[in-house]
Amino acid sequence: MAAAEPPADVKAIFNDYSENGTMSVDHLRQFMAEVQGEEKATVEDAQEVLDSLQQLNIFQKRGLNLEAFFKYLFGDLNPPLNPKLGVHHDMTAPLSHYFIYTGHNSYLTGNQLSSDCSDVPIINALKNGVRVIELDIWPNSTKDSISVLHGRTLTAPVEFLKCLKSIKEYAFVASEYPVVITLEDHLTPDLQALAAQMITETFGDMLFTPGDECLSEFPSPESLKRRVMISTKPPQEYKSTGDDKDFDEDGEDEDECGEDVAAEYRRLIAIHAGKGKGGVGERVMVDPSKVRRLSLSELQIEKGVATHAFEIVRFTHKNLLRIYPKGTRVDSSNFDPLTAWMHGAQLVAFNMQGYGRELWMMHGMFRANGGCGYVKKPEFLLGHDGRVFDPKAAIPIRTTLRVTVYMGEGWYHDFEHTHFDTYSPPDFYAKVGIVGVPVDCMMKKTKTIGDNWIPSWDEVFEFPITIPELALLRIEVHEYDMSDKDDFAGQTCLPIRELRQGIRAVPLCSQKGEQYKSVKLLMRFEFF
């Protein structure tokens, strides 16, 4: 197989920023500032790059030759998001000011009807930065302890205590910011008391417990570092004649802050939850004296925004809005999260074991802010100036992103050589586009490069963007198949507001969202 050849652009840029075939540390600094958009790049920054390249044996003492420069651009040291950026959003605002990485039925290993329940998907979610874990809790078969399972299905249960212990162990491996456990509660009062005991004994001082009072404002992620919060509806009198008939798909009853049974259980609830009564308009009424979490299904939010978009956005200024998949998604698929995000919903609950473009979008959103699971909402969704964002209003174009798709490589190393075609090299094409508010959404496609493991497209696309804060760059590669469905060959999704300009090596992921070892695209990003 022939070695990858630098694109014409890369050769031209090397000639511009080198002397006698060598790019010195000063040349590299100038390239970083002028082409890569790193205006504050210092000679020390450039030297750090050269030192890193020296360890990879692609650096000569005097500087970089063209081959070394190309390998640097197409290597792991040049990603599209800045790995040094880390957590950089203001983390001192109330929880309601953030999009929060949220799981749905976090204990399921597969589909919603017959898969096993386990703590393994909970552990995996926490390792990936998910900050909201949902557990459905039911009496066990002997009614003397608590199981986690998807009620009225064939899912095999897992012990509640086992899930709690796994949450404690893995809560902060990916992020120090708070973990919220949302409980869909189907327990009797005595088992609610047992649940309170299990939670208290497992988490101890890690628990954030405001006591009997409903909060008037949510604390900040910064103030809740390494803390665990419980969110559920306050305990109700147990209805022996079919406890869960009064629950919606996600088992949530109306919120009440009055007296009840199981006082210890109530005391643990940091975020009071409920679905409210009446239509969406009534449910999103704001109570100035307390904050709460409201749950709506994807169908309810779709219908609700048609008539109550203003009220929904206003509700999310102080309160938490959770959107969960409709009950017919038995295959653990997900919905487009953008409608919910556009209207300020912080908790877009996703089936993390269900793959597809919607989950890739979720991965993309939460690559922002150092992958900590909390992404600050845009200012226009926070209501600071007393105004409420109107998602239906015409918005001017704020920026245009020009994307150059140069080439790709790595499939030869990461895939069986007969994976795409039995007798010939693959025929790759790339799809690039924006997902965001409806007016920004657009996908474009390169030509297909036949019979080549290292496709070179060298195509340029432009995308006008009105709301970059909610926009994601979606990238897919497929292998053209004349007689059957085109084969998947990699994908990624990147937050526009953290995308670095310049020539970057973009690693691609599998359908499950796991990064390939070698597969990447060489691309250029320019904002104007």
Q: With contact defined as beta carbons under 8 Å apart, do 225 and 178 qualify?
A: yes
Residue 107 carries which DSSP code? T
Q: With contact defined as beta carbons under 8 Å apart, do 332 and 429 qualify?
A: no
- Computed over its alpha carbons, how large is the radius of gyration of the chain? 25
CA-to-CA distance for 32 and 500, rounded, in angstroms?
A: 11
Residue 73 carries which DSSP code? H
pLDDT recorded at residue 240: 40
528 residues of the chain, pLDDT tens digit each: 677 899 999 999 999 999 999 999 999 999 999 999 999 999 999 998 888 887 766 666 678 999 999 999 999 999 999 999 999 999 999 999 999 999 999 999 999 999 999 999 999 999 999 999 999 999 999 999 999 999 989 999 999 999 999 999 999 999 999 999 999 999 999 999 999 999 999 999 999 998 767 889 999 999 999 999 999 998 864 444 344 433 344 555 444 444 458 789 999 999 999 877 889 999 999 999 999 999 999 999 999 999 999 999 999 999 999 999 999 999 999 999 999 999 999 999 999 988 899 999 999 999 999 999 999 999 999 988 778 888 888 899 999 999 999 999 999 999 999 999 988 999 999 999 999 999 999 999 999 999 999 999 999 999 999 999 999 999 999 999 987 899 999 999 999 999 999 999 999 999 999 999 999 999 999 999
Residue 323 carries which DSSP code? E
pTM: 0.94
Q: With contact defined as beta carbons under 8 Å apart, do 448 and 429 qualify?
A: yes
Amino acid, res. 375 = V
Annotated active-site residue 317? The verdict is: no
pLDDT recorded at residue 157: 95
Annotated active-site residue 104? The verdict is: yes
Residue whose structure tokens are 């919606």: 248
Q: With contact defined as beta carbons under 8 Å apart, do 357 and 474 qualify?
A: yes
Instruction: Note the helical H segments in 249-297.
Output: 263-267, 280-283
pLDDT recorded at residue 52: 84
pLDDT recorded at residue 278: 87
- The residue among 99, 32, 139, 84 whose CA lies nearest residue 340 is 99
Q: Quick one: angle between helices 66-73 and 43-55, nearest 10?
A: 90
- The residue among 511, 57, 100 whose CA lies nearest residue 320 is 100
Q: Which listed residue (97, 104, 186, 317) is catalytic?
A: 104
pLDDT recorded at residue 527: 97
CA-to-CA distance for 448 and 408, rounded, in angstroms?
A: 12
Which contacts of 138-143 are long-range, i.e. CB under 8 A and separated by 24 or more positions? 138/186, 138/187, 139/186, 139/187, 139/188, 139/191, 143/188, 143/191
- The residue among 352, 342, 351 whose CA lies nearest residue 321 is 342
Q: Which listed residue (27, 97, 150, 308) is catalytic?
A: 150
Question: Which residues contact residue 286 at a Cβ distance below 8 angstroms, ignoring those fewer than 6 apart?
Answer: 314, 315, 318, 319
C-alpha pair distances (Å), 122 with each of 102, 273, 351, 367: 11, 21, 11, 19
Q: With contact defined as beta carbons under 8 Å apart, do 469 and 489 qualify?
A: no
Instruction: Note the helical H segments in 330-398.
Output: 338-342, 357-365
Q: Is 518 helix (H, G, I), strand (E, B) or coil?
A: strand
- The residue among 250, 254, 224 whose CA lies nearest residue 236 is 254
Instruction: Note the helical H segments in 152-297.
Output: 160-170, 189-203, 263-267, 280-283
- pLDDT tens track for 10-55: 999 999 999 999 999 999 999 999 999 999 999 999 998 888 887 7
Q: With contact defined as beta carbons under 8 Å apart, do 330 and 111 qualify?
A: yes
CA-to-CA distance for 293 and 184, rounded, in angstroms?
A: 13
